[in-house]
Structure 1
């Protein structure tokens, strides 16, 4: 029996959606397992890294520039960001893809920023317009930098690195903000109805892991982190658009649906077809809030269990 795993957003994303009767009956009869909530915990249930850390910058670098390039050094993401001052401080409102960055934007900003980092011994580049990188010596000691989603909407001063190591990066960031504040390309963005790029967000630093494994043989995902993992690991990744249907599954498969925003698309395009697969295979529905529902063919005999009409907690 093969296993199909669906990585899903939190159940609250499906609020207001009532499951069809057949699907509600299947979820009522399923085994429910409690896991740790959060995106990182969800990924760690299915992917094991050696050593056990998640160097997001190095992993996405594999997807953006290739394995040989990514293995050569340590990496730190330095993504373009928009910070808005308010009466209580300054809030991080957007980074990376949320800024609608183009190749032209990156080519305009990077030449002005590179000398700042070059003086510190780091090289700044952007093989992807929304993902910018600092190339660092492998032995570079970095402070703790939170991921953007941990700080989004919050006062950036609450997330600045502290201590002696942090002082250097706070100073660099101040210089970056001065350069970007005065950069004429932000006027070009304003005329196009886009917010200015007025800061960078450092995060995800480290070197590549030595190896990565997964219980699934094939992973369908649009997340560059998972494509980078496959570059150093023992499984295959393919774009989500390449998945042709549950009837084609012949090996353990994981489908990454965390980025799907439309609950109707999740229900009709993915949950219902996956339920059909559960007639012959094990299907795990792993929600980002930590709940896992496991459907198996033998559960059809649990006729005494009540249907579960919604997936909200």
Structure 2
């Protein structure tokens, strides 16, 4: 069966904004798919204070990643390392992101890491500056790419962490790591912040209108031995998960839709705008998705190029699934509607 699962983070806007946004949204192809489709399962409500967002939990489950522990981010570090060409042999590894934390009225706020615009040369300068601080206390630090590094800390097994997307735009106090290694991490994070405070690189960035890289964020702790047993790459590979946390070149719609078998597509173009609460731009991006993806997808369903589509729609605290088949498109009595985005 030629089936396409499409995960669309932040397609479900906040309840208090949904009616107004959807009244303005011009997305006829998506409205047709949603109107003719049926709920694949009851919508799932998620704890708004969970340390990972609904689509991140879904990805972890879909890829068969080992559980990150109760109230912690998904155990993705070892899988992401392999996806970036590293082969960790042992130990407990965490994902690290260079980050920007700014001061609000009475608390600190993590900026969405997607807005940092950190290039390879800048990231390597910061990595070289911070690495001795990790080496001095016996922790291995590995460079992944411009926005993703890795830390080995075997003694921190059980440290509860939050994904950067879950914490973005919020008071970071309740999203900071807790558990084994908590105090050691805070000390290390503070030392890195002090080291980077005097970096000429940050002065250069600020002169260019860019945010200073003034902190690091940790999450995704995973034991290599447990991760080695995970079948996360067997069916869908790792690309979808990696793209959930960073930009990647997207294949053309015709190439993806025209494939065969059971496939997964992640359309994460709404994430950065939703995290920044740029809802006007969110509307524009949704309409772009309708033209570039949902319209050709609808035509492919009608022509039989695709047999079935499962739309997996998430928000900050909800996840809903809509199943659409070629036969469902013939149910003309079901009117096109975006109302399922506010359900």
Which category describes the TM-score, using the shorter chain as reference length?
Answer: 0.7 to 0.9
* 8 Å CA contact retained: 1:56, 1:225: no
* 8 Å CA contact retained: 1:284, 1:292: yes
SS of 1:6 mapped into structure 2: strand
CA distance in 1, matches of 2:116, 2:61: 31
Does 2:231 align with 1:212? yes
Q: What TM-score results when the alignment is normalised by the length of structure 1?
A: 0.80
Does 2:108 align with 1:90? yes
Q: Deviations over 1:127-155 (max 9, x none)?
A: 31111221344x64241111112221222
| One of 122, 131, 146 as aligned partner of 1:105 | 122
Query: Between Structure 1 and Structure 2, whose CA radius of gyration is higher?
Result: 1
CA distance in 2, matches of 1:303, 1:189: 55
Does 2:82 align with 1:75? no
1:163 and 1:206, CA in 2 relative to 1: closer, same or farther beyond 3 A?
closer
Alignment of 1:47-62 (within 5 A): 47-49=63-65, 51-53=66-68, 54-62=74-82
Q: CA deviation at 1:247?
A: 6.2
SS of 1:293 mapped into structure 2: strand
SS of 2:261 mapped into structure 1: coil
| One of 212, 218, 228 as aligned partner of 1:196 | 212
1:25 and 1:9, CA in 2 relative to 1: closer, same or farther beyond 3 A?
same
| Alignment match, 2:299 | 276
1:188 and 1:26, CA in 2 relative to 1: closer, same or farther beyond 3 A?
closer
1:278 and 1:221, CA in 2 relative to 1: closer, same or farther beyond 3 A?
farther
Q: What TM-score results when the alignment is normalised by the length of structure 2?
A: 0.74
CA RMSD of aligned residues (A): 3.1
SS of 1:197 mapped into structure 2: coil
| Alignment match, 1:31 | 38
Q: Deviations over 1:146-166 (max 9, x none)?
A: 111222122223333345631
* 8 Å CA contact retained: 2:159, 2:178: yes
| Alignment match, 2:71 | none
| Bigger mean CA deviation after superposition, 86-95 or 196-205 | 86-95
| One of 161, 172, 176 as aligned partner of 1:160 | 176
* 8 Å CA contact retained: 1:18, 1:309: no
Does 2:341 align with 1:312? yes
**How many residues of Structure 1 are paired with residues of Structure 2 in the alignment?**
296
CA distance in 2, matches of 1:303, 1:12: 25
SS of 1:144 mapped into structure 2: coil
SS of 1:240 mapped into structure 2: coil
| One of 173, 185, 190 as aligned partner of 1:169 | 185
| Alignment match, 2:49 | none
CA distance in 1, matches of 2:31, 2:210: 44
CA distance in 2, matches of 1:213, 1:113: 32
1:202 and 1:41, CA in 2 relative to 1: closer, same or farther beyond 3 A?
closer
CA distance in 2, matches of 1:309, 1:190: 41
SS of 2:97 mapped into structure 1: strand
CA distance in 1, matches of 2:236, 2:198: 47
CA distance in 2, matches of 1:78, 1:309: 38
Q: CA deviation at 1:255?
A: 1.4
SS of 1:244 mapped into structure 2: helix
Q: Deviations over 1:184-234 (max 9, x none)?
A: 3222222222221111111111134212258x955795652689xxxxxxx
CA distance in 1, matches of 2:230, 2:178: 31
Q: CA deviation at 1:80?
A: 0.8
Q: CA deviation at 1:93?
A: 2.1
Does 2:22 align with 1:17? no
* 8 Å CA contact retained: 1:29, 1:302: yes
